[in-house]
Each structure stands twice: as structure tokens, then as C-alpha cells.
Structure 1
């Protein structure tokens, strides 16, 4: 699954790496992530919040496709358009768009999309990631990896104690 999350940036974040996400009304940065079906992080990229999902997805999927053997990526409606053909032609990836039906109103977590939403919930449990306090985007990406390492070690320790 691929998705993005906009977070407010602290005053220390450089003005060149922050932007305004008009959809979420957030002034800060955007975390673009790719997770597997277990909700484990495969790749992350932090950009200014005004960066479009499709633009960031081209770069992030390129990084992830080189490191992992992927065949299918689920995404929300923000990833439609020429990105579908781009993924198929360049990375041999099928990008499946999961859309909500017209009858649903408000926030609805769709089939298979709850996995990436649960990942973002795990990130929000890490106090340092509720807001972006990092000066550089590479440091912000490292903090996401750090949070995922903590989550995975907790999960492993829990499964072996007993």
C-alpha cells in the first residue's frame, strides 16, 4: 500500500522543505510511505506538504521497487491518472486504486487500506512524530524508520515471551 500523511512542521523546519497542503489545511511536511500487507514499512519519503502524491510516488516507488520484489500496490484516489501507466511500464507494478462507493459520506476506511492507516496510527503513538521537529527531511525519514524499528522489536519481544 502507498499513502501519504501531512503533519505540521515545527519552526526549526526549513522553509524550503515545508509547504501548505490545501486538502488537509496543514502547513508543514508530508510523509509518503509504502507498507507491506503486514503493515511493515518498505519505504518512506518526506517532502514539503504541497508536493503532490503522484509526483512523490514516482520517486518512492522507484526506490522501493529496486529494493523489494513487488507486483501489486494498492492506493487511494489521489494516485490516479498517468501514474498507473507509469508504474506498469517502468516498474512492472500494477497500481490498483481503491475507491469508495458514492453512497459513503465522511471518513471511511476502505478494504485493504486500513493497513496503511494502522501504520500511521503507530507513527502517531511515537511522540516525536506527532509533529515534524526535524531540520532536514532526511532526519525526518530516519525518525520514521526509528519508530518502525521500535514497533517491530516490541512485536518480536511480545511474541517470544510466554
Structure 2
């Protein structure tokens, strides 16, 4: 079972890409992997929207943060919002030539 048997329907959504119903977790860690911010949203929330919300919480809690690395799922809207907060958001793509799981630099 991926979640509790009767969660409130307002906290759930359908992720069309992954074809699952549930929740999405957005996490910000420091360079050591320690958690700084975690938010849980409906799975239907886009990565950009979740990322913007987590960035806003990050900037309030840790105003000295000036750099973040994200995956290719984050688009221009997220990067532009990060810039307005004074955060340089760098997209780090995965190596498409390597099949399966592999460690990606900076993420």
C-alpha cells in the first residue's frame, strides 16, 4: 500500500505522467544531503509549481542560499522565479547514454 487507506481526497491528485494517484514530495537538501525543506502536495501538482513553493519556503528559512541544482523537469518559469529570489537555479541533465540508474553530478 502506497498511502493510508482513507486519506482526504483534497490531498491527493493524479500524476498523468506516472499514472498514479497520491501525493508528491518536494525536497530541498544541502550539499551534505541534510533536509532543509520538505513539502507534500497532491500528485497532480506540476514540478514547477511545487518547486516554486519549496523555493519560497527555502528563502524564508535560509536567506543566504544563492545556488540550487535541479533536474531537467524544471522549466523556465521555475528558473525565472528562482532568479527573482536571488537564487541561481542550474539544470543538471542526466546522461542519456547511460542506461538505468546512475549517479548524476550535483543532484
Aligned residues: 106
Unaligned stretches of 5+ residues in structure 1: 1-6, 114-162
Q: 1:101 aligns with which of 84, 95, 104?
A: 95
Task: Please state how far the C-alpha of 1:106 moved relative to its aligned partner.
Answer: 3.1
Q: 2:76 aligns with which of 74, 81, 90?
A: 81
1:59 and 2:53 correspond: yes
Alignment of 1:77-156 (within 5 A): 77-89=72-84, 91-113=85-107
Q: Quick one: higher RCO (CA 8 Å, sep 6+), 1 or 2?
A: 1
Q: Secondary structure at the match of 1:79?
A: coil
More helix by share: 1
Aligned to 1:148: none
Task: Please state how far the C-alpha of 1:51 moved relative to its aligned partner.
Answer: 0.7
Aligned CA-pair RMSD: 1.7
TM-score by length of 2: 0.88
Task: Please state how far the C-alpha of 1:80 moved relative to its aligned partner.
Answer: 2.1
TM-score by length of 1: 0.60
Task: Please state how far the C-alpha of 1:15 moved relative to its aligned partner.
Answer: 0.8
